[in-house]
Structure 1
Amino acid sequence: MPNDKWNDEEIENLLRDFPKIQDRRPKAEVYKKLSHKEQTPKQPKRWLPLLVAIVAFLSISVLVVSLLQQNGTDSSSSSSESSDAESTMSTDEAQTEQTEQAERETQESEGAASLAAEDPQVQRSAVYESEIDGAHVFRIGLAYNGYVVPISFVIPSQDMEEPAALELYEAFAGQIDETGLGFDEYHPYEGELQQNDSTISHFLPDGQTYDQGSSSTLLYLNSLKETFMDQQEIRVLNEDGEAAQLSHVGTVEPLVPGEQGQSFYLLASSTGDWHLAPAYGMSPGNVKEALLSLQQSPNDDYRSPVPEEINYRVEVDGTNADLIFEEPLDLDALDEAEAMQMVESMALTAQSYGSALTLSNTEQTEWAGFDFTRELELPVSPNRIDWPKK
């Protein structure tokens, strides 16, 4: 490029000398040519359809091989699972058959006692012949606030022959923790006790404490009846062997335990535990009235074992009493302890009058060892306590 230096004036003069360029075409024509440029046609890509076909073929081939492998695996797995299932079913069926056979044998051997085991949550509180299994039943009349509560200790037999009532009393009465159970200290009796066959004789010593008032005298006599309930006669004698004289009853006539039936109500001990107890001096003379009377407390100390909403009537035929609930009774809807106390109070009351008992119109046919389709199994003694094993 030349190194001549141009000034502004020279450049302007030079530009003026250039010829003017003129375009005489219409503006529309120029715009049309600019907006419609010719496009060079592209050559089609002839290899693309071939490539697509190859890719599709490869994809289908891979998919087919995968499906064939999966079917083979599933078939093998299905065959294995089927074989395992058949083996498991055979084992389960054998075990089930053995279990059912064992259950049938157990049910046949248990008999009536098996009913109680079906519902272990509902425990019977009295003593039943079907449940003592040869053990010895030691019944004793414990004292609390002037009332007598019979408690039945079930003592393991220890391969001993059936002991006499007095032998049981002398062996175990002194070992009972009466205050720990919620009762008054009362046993053993003062004086000497003797047994001759089915007769118990109590020789009262001078200065005995059983004649301090009418209530103490009745408590003493009723406790003798409850303690020796299975004896035919109880004699209260002085040290000379003559019928004792008690200030509030005069000459004590021989006592016959169970001669007069008793209604069994609930009575609380000092621990707050409720026990079924006979209402001496407040019980009716026959079983029908006695069962009906259970719906009402005889005083403020006893409590009715029958819930307020439950009503029933009693029909008696000879020595059989049928207690019929006015509305179908669902025992499972009641508190378990209260339901058991009600049933056992009725059973103990009927038993004390020498009567059989049937409960009718219950929703359950069997409950806690009771079969309501027949005469009720009656207790042999109330308020069971198992004597601790040594």
Structure 2
Amino acid sequence: MDKEKWSEEKIEKMLSQVPNPKDNRSIDEVYTRLKNDKRLQDQQPIERKSWKWMPIAVTIAAVLLLGILTPSMLKDSQHQSDQVSESTFMQMDESADELAEVEKSIEEAALFQADKSSHLLLADELDGYIPFQIGLVSRAHVIPVTFLIPSETIQVDFQKENPNSVELYQKYAGQLREEALGFDAYHPFEGEIIAEEGMVRHKLPSNHSYDRSSASIQVYEGTIRSTFNDFSKVLPVQENGDAIEFSQVGTMDAIQINHDRHAASYYKYTLPSGQTYIVPQDAGEFAETVEEALLNMKKQFSDDFESLVPESVHYDVQVVEDTVFIQFKDLLDLSQMNDDEARLMIEGFMLTAEQFQLAIKLENVMQENFGKYDLSEALPRPVASNPVDFITE
């Protein structure tokens, strides 16, 4: 039967065949029988063993377990805490580094903005760059400017670190967008520029335009001096190398590029675009001494040039060894001057003295610092003037 397969129908059929139980006894009869049944009479309850030691044991076990687990838990917790702390400190360090980088970037940006208003370059500002100096032209005046070429570009273009001014000129002069910078279209020079025997030769075609007037000759010589100032002289010659004559002056001698021969005082020059530059005035007196050149800066020789020294500022000049001391007669408070005005005056002094390879020291000035300059010491000698963006074709 156990092996038979039961179905709901079979089960229901079998259940229907089971007789219904019937009890014909009265209620009283049933009650009397139950009352006399000894199995249902009261008996003393069987006392079960009480496991009173269980809570104590559980407590002891719990304590022991806690004793075992706590160091491990604390160790894990400490490890996690150490990890969190280490992670937190690492994040704090990283955040501090990032903040320092941001602050450094802000400072560099601020310094960069401040330097953009400067009209000269110091030696430490040339790190990573090679200066390409050239004389640009505006309204028959020569404006010496400096293009900063990245050292990487120089290395690619020349396969060496320090090309001379002739090499730089041959490579980049034809690429300059002078008019985009507000200057006249003047470069590259007509003819061929070559360096040989320690000097520069300028081979000119017969129809060159540099001798049309005395003014054009002056501009030509000015651009030559401003562009090839790492050579001692530049000799204009015919294309075959023979001496050349300029219609205004006759046979041309070598153009001397010698700072000791004479020097012009520096003045402010403004392009028609409104851009200002510090330039050696070509319409004034040439000085034979640095004292004369610095004192001439207060004189006005041309409407095209503006003195860098305010009329109310007076000073004496004294040279001691390789430093020029500029002593202001009255205590000079630079805060009473416009920042640009004060900067132009200081840098004009520096550039004028540099023509004699001398540094300057300002005396009787209220401030000890101004912009990037420490006025408590002799100011560094500039290495270039009028930095401009390198805009090429």
Deviation for aligned residue 1:122: 8.0
User: Match for residue 321 of structure 1?
Assistant: 324
Q: Closer, same or farther in 2 for the Cα pair 1:156/1:122, shift >3 Å?
A: closer
User: Match for residue 297 of structure 1?
Assistant: 300
Q: Is the 2:265–2:296 Cα contact (8 Å) retained in structure 1?
A: yes
1:337 aligned counterpart, secondary structure: helix
2:360 to 354, 357, 361: 357
User: Match for residue 225 of structure 1?
Assistant: 225
Give the 5 Å matches for 1:300-379: 300-379=303-382
Deviation for aligned residue 1:388: 5.9
2:144 to 128, 145, 150: 150
Deviation for aligned residue 1:364: 1.6
Deviation for aligned residue 1:134: 3.2
Deviations 1:120-144 (A, max 9, x none): 4884221211111031101110111
Give the 5 Å matches for 1:55-74: none
2:256 aligned counterpart, secondary structure: coil
CA distance in 1, matches of 2:247, 2:391: 41
Code of the aligned partner of 1:243 = A
Q: Is the 1:265–1:294 Cα contact (8 Å) retained in structure 2?
A: yes
Q: Is the 1:122–1:336 Cα contact (8 Å) retained in structure 2?
A: no
Deviations 1:57-107 (A, max 9, x none): xxxxxxxxxxxxxxxxxxxxxxxxxxxxxxxxxx9xx99xx89xx89xx9x
Residue-pair matches, total: 290
User: Match for residue 176 of structure 2?
Assistant: 176
CA distance in 2, matches of 1:169, 1:122: 24
Give the 5 Å matches for 1:157-172: 157-158=151-152, 160=155, 161-172=161-172
RMSD: 3.1
Deviation for aligned residue 1:380: 1.1
User: Match for residue 250 of structure 2?
Assistant: 250
Deviation for aligned residue 1:344: 0.8
Q: Are 2:259 and 1:265 equivalent residues in the alignment?
A: no
CA distance in 2, matches of 1:377, 1:312: 20
1:166 aligned counterpart, secondary structure: helix
Q: Closer, same or farther in 2 for the Cα pair 1:337/1:198, shift >3 Å?
A: farther
Q: Closer, same or farther in 2 for the Cα pair 1:119/1:220, shift >3 Å?
A: closer
Deviation for aligned residue 1:323: 0.6
User: Match for residue 8 of structure 2?
Assistant: none
Deviation for aligned residue 1:119: 9.0
Code of the aligned partner of 2:254 = P
1:137 to 131, 149, 170: 131
Q: Is the 1:122–1:368 Cα contact (8 Å) retained in structure 2?
A: no
User: Match for residue 87 of structure 1?
Assistant: none
Unaligned runs of 5+ residues in structure 1 are: 1-90, 107-112
Q: Is the 2:147–2:387 Cα contact (8 Å) retained in structure 1?
A: yes
User: Match for residue 239 of structure 2?
Assistant: 239
Deviation for aligned residue 1:342: 0.8
Deviation for aligned residue 1:389: 10
TM-score of the superposition, structure 2-length normalised? Answer: 0.67
Q: Closer, same or farther in 2 for the Cα pair 1:269/1:194, shift >3 Å?
A: same
Deviation for aligned residue 1:197: 5.8
Deviation for aligned residue 1:268: 1.6
Aligned-pair identity in percent equals 32
Q: Are 2:145 and 1:125 equivalent residues in the alignment?
A: no
Code of the aligned partner of 2:318 = E
Q: Closer, same or farther in 2 for the Cα pair 1:274/1:121, shift >3 Å?
A: closer
CA distance in 2, matches of 1:278, 1:120: 23
Code of the aligned partner of 1:379 = P
Deviation for aligned residue 1:210: 0.4
Unaligned runs of 5+ residues in structure 2 are: 1-88, 156-160
CA distance in 2, matches of 1:151, 1:299: 21
Deviation for aligned residue 1:375: 1.6
Deviation for aligned residue 1:311: 1.5
Q: Closer, same or farther in 2 for the Cα pair 1:118/1:329, shift >3 Å?
A: farther
Q: Which runs of 4+ in 1 moved over 6 A?
A: none
Deviations 1:271-297 (A, max 9, x none): 122211112362222110110111122
Q: Closer, same or farther in 2 for the Cα pair 1:119/1:201, shift >3 Å?
A: closer
Code of the aligned partner of 2:274 = G
1:190 aligned counterpart, secondary structure: coil
1:332 aligned counterpart, secondary structure: helix
